Amino acid sequence: MQSRNPTSQILTWTAVFLCFTTLTTAVDVSSIKDHAVWDQLQELAKFSDTPPPSVTRLVYKKHDILARKRIKELMKEAGLTVQEDAVGNTFGRWEGSDTKAGTVMTGSHADAIVLGGAYDGILGVWGGIAAVAGLRKAGFKPTKSIEVVQWTSEEADRFTEICFGSRIATGYMKAHELDKFRDDNGTTFQEAASAAGYKQASSQAYLDGSQLDAKTIDSYVELHIEQGPLLEADKKDVGIVTHIFGPSLSHVVFNGSGGHAGGMPMANRNDPSLAGAELALHVEKAALNTGSIHNVATTGTWNIWPNVLNAVPRGASLLFDIRDVEDKRRQKVIQALLDGAQSIAKKRKVEVKAEVVYAYPPITSGEKVLDAIKSATRELKVSTMELMSKPYHDAAFMGLVAPTAMIFVPCRGGLSHHPDEYSSPKNVGDGVRTLALTLAKLAGSSEPSQTHAEL
């Protein structure tokens, strides 16, 4: 009878076993306490140009600069190495044991719209820092490096441009676009950035000094309040975001001859503001005609000039925000906008200039990031639901260069971009603990004792 080698047999069965298992990271994140995380958000909310409960932090202005300083302090307190790029994107790095294995990134933004709330964006920044602090306290040692990032200006607050920190970092902005940035006072991007301490010689220098190397990014995960009512309505603790809607911006300008409001006969008018009104209704109809709740179209800004009571308008400028999870369907509505602008201009005898400023593709979440989130929620025994994100986020641009997904937590009444925006200590705690375990699973442990096989 042929003898068996016990060691060989054990190795064989171990190999077979591992083929049918997934290595996960067993880490105790119970040190991440609900109120401790929530209380820090209340402290950060004090950095505001407007009184509580509102939060207003416009990029490169006083309270944005002060909030950046505090965030860098919190990163350092969590043991992270802090660096900033040319536009002020701030990175807190936890070096992994394998410096060539790629970087797992998490983060969000700290800027807030005028009269916004205390949770939008900043939860993902502070939550990332708190998640790392919890992993450190648990003795976790990552194989891949982990970075927490505060992106500069996700909101279209001061310069009416979305996510320009992450867009620049991922290569989705050109110098000539940055050259056009002006705030309501006519301040250029370069002037504003320089005044905040981020001085560069040119727009191109800002871009060159802020580019990420996509090949080094392993994955990205962003924690955020839902900004909608679904989680609260369904009594779920955590939302797992499977798709992010693609944002687009179209700009239309109508010009007419104007005239005195009393002296110009109705039959002689070529009123650009009425052309704008007709186009807004045309775009609304085009979106409704898709038959999909996932297509949304908004005439977000509308300026007419000279904007006085007793003069027929001479010009109208409109911005259209059209989003969808399906690019082809969104494109049909954008095309309806462009065609409608031309036909309405011809009918109303006004001049028109219509352009698509940008149309970024929708994002499908990366499977490995989704798997890590789902595994984390199972271990934490929190209730979940899968959902899509209609609001845009920095994650939408990171999803163009690396596997990406988002973790949502409920916000009361679905209310966001509002002083009454609120997420409870438990909601916040569940989100940060989920993020911590997700980061651990994505980064992997360099300590064998911290891994176990899960069927």
Lowest mean pLDDT among 15-19, 123-127, 217-221, 419-423: 15-19
The structural architecture, per CATH, of the domain 21-245+362-454 is: 3-Layer(aba) Sandwich (3.40)
Lowest mean pLDDT among 41-45, 127-131, 298-302, 316-320: 298-302
Confidence of residue 229 (pLDDT cuts 50, 70, 90): very high
Q: If you average pLDDT over residues 96-112, what whole number do you get?
A: 96
pLDDT of amino acid 160 = 80
| pLDDT(4) > 70 | no
What percentage of the chain exceeds 90 in pLDDT? Answer: 89
Lowest mean pLDDT among 99-103, 143-147, 157-161, 305-309: 157-161
What is the spatial distance between Cα 312 and Cα 344, in angstroms, rounded to a whole number?
A: 18
* CATH topology (fold) of 248-359: Alpha-Beta Plaits (3.30.70)
| pLDDT(16) > 60 | no
| pLDDT(33) > 60 | yes
What is the spatial distance between Cα 323 and Cα 162, in angstroms, rounded to a whole number?
A: 14
Q: If you average pLDDT over residues 350-355, what whole number do you get?
A: 98
pLDDT of amino acid 2 = 42
| pLDDT(266) > 90 | yes
Q: Which residues of 300-324 are buried (b: 16+ CB within 10 A; e: fewer)?
A: eeeebeeeeeeebbbbbbbbbbbbb
Secondary structure of 107-118 as H, E, C letters: EEECCEEEEECC
pLDDT of amino acid 451 = 45
Instruction: Name the residue among 368, 440, 359 with its Cα closest to residue 396.
Output: 359
pTM for the whole thing? 0.88
Confidence of residue 282 (pLDDT cuts 50, 70, 90): very high
- pLDDT for 133-190, tens place per residue? 999 999 999 999 999 999 999 998 899 888 999 999 999 999 999 999 999 999 999 9
> Token match 């505090």: residue?
70
User: Do the beta carbons of residue 131 and residue 186 sit within 8 Å?
Assistant: no
How buried is residue 425: exposed, middle or buried, by Cβ count under 10 Å (0-12/13-18/19+)?
middle
Q: If you average pLDDT over residues 428-440, what whole number do you get?
A: 98
| pLDDT(23) > 60 | no
pLDDT of amino acid 448 = 60
Average pLDDT, the chain: 93
pLDDT of amino acid 49 = 96
Q: If you average pLDDT over residues 355-371, what whole number do you get?
A: 95
pLDDT of amino acid 450 = 53
- For the chain, the domains span 21-245+362-454, 248-359
What percentage of the chain exceeds 70 in pLDDT? Answer: 93
pLDDT of amino acid 449 = 55
Give how far Cα 205 sits from Cα of 65, 85, 394, Å: 21, 11, 22
pLDDT of amino acid 310 = 97
Integer distance in angstroms from the first to the last C-alpha of the chain? 35
Q: If you average pLDDT over residues 71-100, what whole number do you get?
A: 97
| pLDDT(38) > 70 | yes
Secondary structure of the chain as H, E, C letters: CCCCCHHHHHHHHHHHHHHCCEEEECCCCCCCCHHHHHHHHHHHCCCCCCCCCCEEECCCCHHHHHHHHHHHHHHHHCCCEEEECCCCCEEEEECCCCCCCCEEEEEEECCEEEEECCCCCHHHHHHHHHHHHHHHHCCCCECCEEEEEEECCCCCCCCCCCCHHHHHHCCCCCHHHHHCCECCCCCEHHHHHHHCCCCCCCHHHHHHCCCCCHHHEEEEEEEEECCCCHHHHCCCCEEEEEEECECEEEEEEEECCCEECCCCCHHHCCCHHHHHHHHHHHHHHHHHHCCCCCCEEEEEEEEEECCCCCEECCEEEEEEEEEECCHHHHHHHHHHHHHHHHHHHHHHCCEEEEEEEEECCCEECCHHHHHHHHHHHHHHCCCEEEEEECCCCHHHHHCCCCCEEEEEECCHHHCCCCCCCCCCHHHHHHHHHHHHHHHHHHHCECCHHHEEEEC
| pLDDT(241) > 80 | yes
What is the spatial distance between Cα 163 and Cα 246, in angstroms, rounded to a whole number?
A: 13
Q: If you average pLDDT over residues 307-324, what whole number do you get?
A: 97
The residues, ordered by sequence, that sit 6+ positions from 334 with a Cβ below 8 Å of its Cβ are 248, 250, 322, 356, 359
